[in-house]
Structure 1
Amino acid sequence: MESQNYLTIAIEKMGHVMLDDRHMKASDIYKTAVKLHKKEDYNPPSYNEDKFKVRSVFEKGGLCFYVMPKDGRATEFFMYIHGGGFVSRITHNEWKFVFDTVERTGYGAVVPIYPLAPEHSVTEALDMLTGAYDKLCDSEDVQRLVLLGHSSGGCLALSLAIQLWKKGRRRPDKLILCSPVLDTEFEDTELEQKMSDKSRFMYRYYYTPGIKHFLSAYWVKDAAGRTDMTSPVYYDITDICDEMDIFTTNDDMLNCYARRLYDNASRTNMKVHYYQYYAVTHDYLEHPLIPECKTIMKKIAGCIKGDSDFVPADIENDIWCRAMMAERYPKLYEDNEAIKLTDKLGIEHKKRNARYTFYDRTVMMERLVAVDERVRNFINRYADGIIVNVGCELDTMFSRVDNGRIKWYNVDLPERIDIRRKYMEIRDREVNIGSSIFDYEWLDEVQKPQNVAILFVVYDMMRYFDKDKLKLFLDAIWKKCPGAEVVFDAKNSVAKHRWNRSVFMGKNKGTMLRVSIDNCTSLMYDWNIKYKILCDEPILREADLERMFSHSEARRFRHAIKKKYDKVIHLRLGTEHFLDNM
């Protein structure tokens, strides 16, 4: 996550989250929750009175707030069911998300203040939410209605959609679930074990036996065994709505449930979109000051409207870097497609130049040249080979290196492949695969004939890896395609430390890195003695730098080149299947 936002999260979370002690028993959580309810203020902030019209509507068992555009009229609505672990009220920052979303979409918002544990149960909460939903449909001219739930609110949103379908009520036009809790009875012990992974406990979000016992005693109560109310991920969701969007993060302990829901929904006729983000905290809707979280909020607003024009900031940054390199140093790097994309997307160079230090900006540009060179090296050796661009985004590498014979695969998350299809035409011999790069089933979609060389290009993707994930990634490729080659870029431990410090201090806009490689030979030998290193060279090269800058500026990089702060690594995984003259 970018800049000094780790400190921002710490400040925003102080004194808010429902649980402070991972050793709490159910009775301790009960006492803490009751105290919180006496202090919490669920009313919307008053500073937005000039921009929006807000009114309250009493509903059996709770209260609803209607947030309307300034003119007070709307025919399109979204109902936001807040998170909070079934015990906490809506927060100030969640209200900000609601107001910002109303402003971005022009929709009206309905925010129910539903009954919470331990005083109330899931049955009472769903009764109140069903009543609020019906009242909205009856009292307003509703032409489009989106049901949106975050965290524990995601569980209630899915359960509410199921209840509406069972009772024959109007179905929501769309269901959006953000890092949802989907099983309060923890029926699947395998998923419960995954959720208990302590490496995913972050920013005071975690799972303990005390939480399980608390939910069973004070939230589930008499609804035990009613999966449609308590564990909707296991219920039949075939006809509850026509379209569903699922948002999650890779480090979220609830990611396994989001993935299970996506798999279930994909087997129906429902249109499903799965958005997985990396290095972002679970409660991203509660951090409006953090750029990565703000990006997700903008995407959610686009999903509410059904607008697919939104392009994530990291994709824009990659396009900007390629366009800048092509415009400034055309003798080193050509990319006319990237220049056209910057114009089409309205990307401004001036704003983005200031986001990185001079050194890191230079590394980003030189990395393009270094990786392209390794890919061309492979094509020169295997003119009819296969190249897989892992994490392709809107990369134009195929057009830059195509020899007219190679076959090309692009792999990225489904929503990013959708963006790619929107802005880039599919060329001959090119295939797009929509999948998370860590769901290795996508390897089965790569059609590799026997005795055909294959290269996997992992460009600027180390921000998504740690050493364990990198080892598993290489191992998966080795098992599926023995003899395959892999090209990726990495930093050594010194460069990683400097980068993370710059990100933390706000000097660079990027993600904290969790992996570095100092001695590539030793590391690969430890991982698999069959891995062969074809190249382990610094990304920065004096000859290129002399062409880019003055002699005195180029000299500033000599130490970084000597110590190989940033490097490109080219591996062959497994037995050598092809004749090779390096």
Structure 2
Amino acid sequence: MDKRRPRLGEVQETLLIPLYARAVETRKAHGLLSDPQAVEMVDSLDYDFSRFDGARSLLGANLRTLLFDQWVREFLERHPAGTVVEIGTGLNTRFERLDNGTVHWFDLDLPDVIALRRGFFKDTDRRHMLSASVTDPQWMEQVRGTSPGPYFLVAEAVLVYLEAELVRSVFQQVGEELPGARFALETAASRVVDAQDSRDVLAQVTARMRWSCDNPGALEQWEPGLTLADSRTLAHLPAPVAHRLPLRYRLLLPVVATLRRRDIEAYRCNLFRFAGD
């Protein structure tokens, strides 16, 4: 089978890291998750994924995915016909994991990523791909104009690659265009950003994190009524996620949380809620 070479920008290339993480875990006998489509996509791409082999960050990517999945799942339990926007969707398969038959879904990413994604996914009446930057407010207008709220936005491994002023502008735009939205994203403390050149997977790509955030709670000052509803490290997962982990991971995470406390605390997954509807 002819393989397709992904032609992606520097930041966009990072989408291949969580893709490979899911594929690696799927190939295990008792992995954290099962994503056969990730395996198929990895096998169909002409890319040297071996550069990521053995990286501890692959485990972190999968734990983050499971946590964000849980937050979206809880949202859909309360709002079955709500709207989810996957910001920086890459080659994620979150819709395949969580579709309840009534959710409205948008997969948003830059043109080169959407071009790659269209080789594996198709639009449907409830799911649409949007080719745009997260910093372009027009996508919010399109989502609001064509799909009902409430809204849940997921930005997994996206905003950390933007400058701080751009991240703040995204928050301001969401507050204006999608009042009441929930927004899931991760933050990396300055010590993580400063040391990224020596970190396993990031050392293998050109892209670099630009935005550091030492206190996610401080972001509440960015928008009136913005609330940090939840903030977790990857070693302190909600019970529904932790209980589904294989035993070896349930035993490993408390040890890691103790031995590498400063590193664990410096990288957080956060759930914000905007004021409004």
- Using the size of structure 1 for normalisation, the TM-score is 0.41
1:441 and 2:135 correspond: no
The answer as to whether partners of 2:105 and 2:126 remain within 8 angstroms in 1 is yes
Whole-angstrom CA distance in 2 between matches of 1:383 and 1:561: 37
Which of the pair has more CA radius of gyration? Answer: 1
SS at structure 1 position matched to 2:199: helix
Whole-angstrom CA distance in 1 between matches of 2:209 and 2:51: 24
**What corresponds to 1:190 in structure 2?**
none
The answer as to whether partners of 1:546 and 1:554 remain within 8 angstroms in 2 is no
**What corresponds to 1:568 in structure 2?**
269
Cα 1:496–1:328 change in 2 (3 A) is farther
**What corresponds to 1:217 in structure 2?**
none
The answer as to whether partners of 1:316 and 1:347 remain within 8 angstroms in 2 is no
Matches within 5 A, 1:351-500: 351-354=51-54, 356=55, 358=56, 360-447=57-144, 452-500=149-197
Residue segments in structure 2 that go unaligned for 5+ positions in a row: none
Cα 1:329–1:453 change in 2 (3 A) is farther
Whole-angstrom CA distance in 1 between matches of 2:107 and 2:65: 17
Of 309, 325, 344, the match for 2:44 = 344
The answer as to whether partners of 1:317 and 1:352 remain within 8 angstroms in 2 is yes
Whole-angstrom CA distance in 2 between matches of 1:552 and 1:484: 34
Offset at residue 525 of structure 1 (A):
3.3
Whole-angstrom CA distance in 2 between matches of 1:450 and 1:430: 10
Whole-angstrom CA distance in 1 between matches of 2:220 and 2:152: 20
Of 207, 216, 229, the match for 1:520 = 216
Cα 1:316–1:501 change in 2 (3 A) is closer
Of 535, 538, 558, the match for 2:230 = 535
Matches within 5 A, 1:8-87: none
Question: CA-atom RMSD, angstroms?
Answer: 3.0
The answer as to whether partners of 1:503 and 1:510 remain within 8 angstroms in 2 is no
Whole-angstrom CA distance in 2 between matches of 1:380 and 1:362: 27
The answer as to whether partners of 1:493 and 1:517 remain within 8 angstroms in 2 is yes
Cα 1:373–1:448 change in 2 (3 A) is farther
Letter in 1 for 2:134: I
Cα shift readout 1:14-43 (whole Å, capped 9, x = no counterpart): xxxxxxxxxxxxxxxxxxxxxxxxxxxxxx
The answer as to whether partners of 2:232 and 2:269 remain within 8 angstroms in 1 is yes
Whole-angstrom CA distance in 2 between matches of 1:309 and 1:346: 5
Letter in 2 for 1:569: N
Offset at residue 539 of structure 1 (A):
2.1
Letter in 2 for 1:375: V
SS at structure 2 position matched to 1:328: coil
Cα 1:503–1:326 change in 2 (3 A) is closer
Offset at residue 549 of structure 1 (A):
4.6
Offset at residue 497 of structure 1 (A):
2.6
Sequence identity (%): 19
Whole-angstrom CA distance in 2 between matches of 1:320 and 1:416: 16
The answer as to whether partners of 2:83 and 2:147 remain within 8 angstroms in 1 is no
Cα shift readout 1:267-302 (whole Å, capped 9, x = no counterpart): xxxxxxxxxxxxxxxxxxxxxxxxxxxxxxxxxxxx
SS at structure 1 position matched to 2:134: coil
Cα 1:315–1:441 change in 2 (3 A) is same
Whole-angstrom CA distance in 1 between matches of 2:275 and 2:21: 34
**What corresponds to 2:28 in structure 1?**
328
Cα shift readout 1:293-339 (whole Å, capped 9, x = no counterpart): xxxxxxxxxxxxxxx94313434333212211233375632212111
Cα shift readout 1:150-187 (whole Å, capped 9, x = no counterpart): xxxxxxxxxxxxxxxxxxxxxxxxxxxxxxxxxxxxxx
SS at structure 2 position matched to 1:423: coil
The answer as to whether partners of 1:363 and 1:566 remain within 8 angstroms in 2 is no
More contact order relative to length (CA 8 Å, sep ≥ 6): 2
Residue segments in structure 1 that go unaligned for 5+ positions in a row: 1-307, 578-582
Whole-angstrom CA distance in 2 between matches of 1:516 and 1:448: 33
The answer as to whether partners of 1:389 and 1:410 remain within 8 angstroms in 2 is yes
Cα 1:317–1:537 change in 2 (3 A) is closer
Offset at residue 560 of structure 1 (A):
4.2
- Using the size of structure 2 for normalisation, the TM-score is 0.82
Offset at residue 561 of structure 1 (A):
5.3
Offset at residue 570 of structure 1 (A):
0.5
Whole-angstrom CA distance in 2 between matches of 1:450 and 1:315: 26
